[in-house]
Amino acid sequence: MPKVLISDELSPAAVQIFKERGIEVVEKTGMKPKELAEMIGAFDGLALRSASKVTADVLAAAKNLKVVGRAGIGVDNIDVKAATARGICVMNTPFGNNITTAEHSVAMMMALARHIPEANSSTHAGKWEKSRFVGVELYAKTLGLVGCGNIGSIVADRAQGLKMKVIAYDPFLSPERAIDLGVEKVDLDTLLARADFISLHTPLTDQTRNLIDKAALAKCKAGVRIVNCARGGLVVEEDLKAALDSGHVAGAALDVFPTEPATQNILFGHPNVVCTPHLGASSTEAQLNVAIQVAEQMSDFLLHGAVTNALNMPSVTVEEAPKLRPYMKLADQLGAFAGQATETGILKVIVEYEGQVAALNTRPLTALMLQGLLKPQLSDSVNMVNAPLVAKERNIDLTEVKHDREGDYHTLIRLTVQSERWSRSIAGTLFADQRPRVVEIKGIKIDAELGPHMLYVTNDDKPGFIGKLGTLLGDNGINIATFALGRSAPGKDAIALVEIDGPIPGPLLKQVQDLAQVQQAKHLVF
């Protein structure tokens, strides 16, 4: 009989589901990582929320653990990489608390507009300070949404019910989807300049970390109010405090913080700041929804091998797994390459399978490519299970084509991405040793094996460029592992795909971008 440990407070409905399915359940909450590591060895499954910390040490002690189920969306408290290395499936419930989080954002916006927390404290203290708490209406104000996915779109709907004008910045929001939502798609600078209220609904990624800093705040209109119920780290708190102290920012409402639990913070006690202890997903309905979902998903996995909402495992049968495994690595690399190289909204994705791969179950491969394509912007909110749904919700047209014929290669996968301004493709194959290889980028033939760190450069094909690039990297202590080249025609467009031994510093990447003949240069991580 499988055994599941519940290490955080979950609805009793979850316990009931496990027991009805014949799974033994033990509940023990409030454990530190050391305590959890001492206890986890006897369990097949671990169900948790955000309090438990599933570190690499905990996973190392989990000799029998097969699945970790997160009741909620964020997996910041789980070392997914370590779990993957140990063959442990990590699941979440990405859609169970969307409405609750969106409603909390709207509630925070209203509290901020009408000084409700401060007025409440003042009135309880026996004061009657009507003139002190003069607020502003939401009616006819402009709400700027930074991120317009599942939660952001719900906030847009509620704000429109309050007769607010809604504008949105989201690189993955298509013009058609924006029209459907009734929002105006704008760039970030336009949003900052026009919004009376700014609400953040984007995951924390390398691209979004410290997104709202001193420079961004300076672009905002005077008197702007900022709401963050998404992730701590999106806002530079020191810069926000300075803007609040100067009066440029009229107020801020924060439900999330860079370090949690947050018992000390430079914004605590500020008269124009509303703070709550990460309550975005804390409603009776949301707690019940995510508890039921995680119990059902974990039970199906432990009893039947079914995989749902997994962040690190595909939906593949036992029979298909050996055949698909090398293709899955190739699909992951193609999607991740395209996702990191894409900076504008995506309209259409075309996936072509040619030769031997066309006869296989390609659905998990397509989903894996979509995950890699969308993940640079959506982080932990997208996985290979929900990636097709996320693409559909964003009006990204997906086409899958299978060609039984063999071309130049016995097996080939080509991923084509069409944006508002261009169409680009990348193709790869498997060599005899089953290692993935990239063989074409933007129609240019190339032969490259992708390493953990790659420098991708597109340039004009001119004499001396390769030497300049190599010298620049060498002079800055960047060791080159492999160097692959391709060009469309002599003197035309060329590509350099360089494997390097580690990350390339930002200033050095800027120097590469500034080289004569360079059209684009990016550091890609795999």
Catalytic residue check, 231? yes
Catalytic residue check, 278? yes
The reply to whether the predicted model has a pTM over 0.85 is: no
Are residue 265 and residue 138 in the same domain, yes or no? yes
DSSP run (H or E) holding 165: strand 165-169
Q: Tokens 């419930």: give the residue.
A: 93
Amino acid at 88: I
Residue 522's nearest CA partner among 373, 340, 338 is 340
Does any domain span residue 352? yes
Q: Give the end of a domain, one of 441, 476, 496.
A: 441
Contact 117, 93 (CB under 8 A): no
Does any domain span residue 339? yes
- Return the pLDDT at 385: 60
Indicate whether 100 pLDDT > 70: yes
Distance CA(124)–CA(122), nearest Å, equals 6
| Cα–Cα separations (whole angstroms), residue 384 to 41, 193, 294, 339, 389 | 29, 36, 17, 14, 10
Stretch 479-497: mean pLDDT, rounded?
93
Are residue 139 and residue 219 in the same domain, yes or no? yes
CATH of the domain at 291: 3.40.50.720
Does any domain span residue 280? no
Indicate whether 379 pLDDT > 80: no
**Angle in degrees, 0-180, between the axes of helices 465-475 and 506-513, rounded to the nearest 10:** 160
CB neighbours of residue 30 within 10 Å: 10
Indicate whether 278 pLDDT > 80: yes
Contact 185, 200 (CB under 8 A): no
Indicate whether 388 pLDDT > 90: no
Give the three-state DSSP class for 191.
helix
- Number of folded domains that form the chain: 4
Sign of the dihedral through C-alpha 364, 369, 372, 377: negative
- Return the pLDDT at 73: 84
- Return the pLDDT at 33: 95
- Return the pLDDT at 315: 65
Are residue 86 and residue 105 in the same domain, yes or no? no
Does any domain span residue 424? yes
Are residue 391 and residue 504 in the same domain, yes or no? no
Pairing of strands 480-487, 493-500: antiparallel
Are residue 500 and residue 433 in the same domain, yes or no? no
Q: Give the end of a domain, one of 423, 441, 459.
A: 441
CATH of the domain at 473: 3.30.70.260
- Return the pLDDT at 319: 63
Are residue 400 and residue 455 in the same domain, yes or no? no
Name the residue range of residue 126's domain: 98-275
Does any domain span residue 516? yes
Residue 437's nearest CA partner among 313, 341, 329, 520 is 329
Q: Which of 115, 225, 278, 453 is an active site residue?
A: 278
Residue 11: both structure tokens together: 């609805």
- Return the pLDDT at 318: 52
Instruction: Please report which confidence band the pLDDT of residue 268 belongs to, taking 50, 70 and 90 as the band edges.
Output: very high
Q: List, for residues 302-311, the tens digit of each pLDDT value.
A: 998 778 888 8
Catalytic residue check, 320? no
Does any domain span residue 37? yes
186 HSE (CA, 13 A, CB side) = 20
357 HSE (CA, 13 A, CB side) = 32
Residue 375's nearest CA partner among 391, 399, 397, 398 is 391
Does any domain span residue 170? yes
| Cα–Cα separations (whole angstroms), residue 476 to 389, 469, 470, 509 | 44, 11, 10, 11
- Return the pLDDT at 25: 97
Residue 262: both structure tokens together: 């947050």
Which value, to the nearest 10 degrees, does the dihedral of the CA atoms of residues 387, 393, 397, 402 take? Answer: 30
Indicate whether 363 pLDDT > 80: yes
Q: List, for residues 109-151, the tens digit of each pLDDT value.
A: 999 999 999 999 999 999 999 999 999 999 999 999 999 998 9
Q: List, for residues 27-71, the tens digit of each pLDDT value.
A: 999 999 999 999 999 999 999 998 999 999 999 999 999 999 999
Q: Give the end of a domain, one of 275, 298, 331.
A: 275
Distance CA(393)–CA(388), nearest Å, equals 9
Q: Please state, for a pLDDT cut of 70, what percent of the chain lies above it.
A: 97
Does any domain span residue 236? yes
Stretch 504-525: mean pLDDT, rounded?
93
Residue 51 has what DSSP assignment? S
Q: Residue 503: phi, psi to the nearest 5?
A: -60, 150
Cis check for the bond before 175: say yes or no (omega within 30 of 0).
no
- Return the pLDDT at 27: 97
Indicate whether 279 pLDDT > 70: yes
Are residue 427 and residue 466 in the same domain, yes or no? no
Q: Mean of the per-residue pLDDT values for the chain?
A: 92
CATH of the domain at 378: 3.30.1330.90
Are residue 114 and residue 199 in the same domain, yes or no? yes
Are residue 151 and residue 233 in the same domain, yes or no? yes
Are residue 110 and residue 193 in the same domain, yes or no? yes
Stretch 342-363: mean pLDDT, rounded?
90
Instruction: Please report which confidence band the pLDDT of residue 206 belongs to, taking 50, 70 and 90 as the band edges.
Output: confident
Q: Which of 35, 184, 260, 449 is an active site residue?
A: 260
Contact 44, 67 (CB under 8 A): yes
- Return the pLDDT at 297: 94
Are residue 388 and residue 301 in the same domain, yes or no? no
Distance CA(256)–CA(239), nearest Å, equals 16
Instruction: Please report which confidence band the pLDDT of residue 97 belongs to, taking 50, 70 and 90 as the band edges.
Output: confident
Q: Which residues contact 396 (CB under 8 A, 6 or more apart)?
A: 172, 174, 346, 347, 348, 349
Are residue 221 and residue 112 in the same domain, yes or no? yes
Give the three-state DSSP class for 496.
strand
Indicate whether 361 pLDDT > 90: no
Helices and strands in the chain, H and E counts: 17, 22
Q: Which of 177, 201, 231, 437 is an active site residue?
A: 231
Q: Residue 140: phi, psi to the nearest 5?
A: 70, 5
Residue 495: both structure tokens together: 């590509």
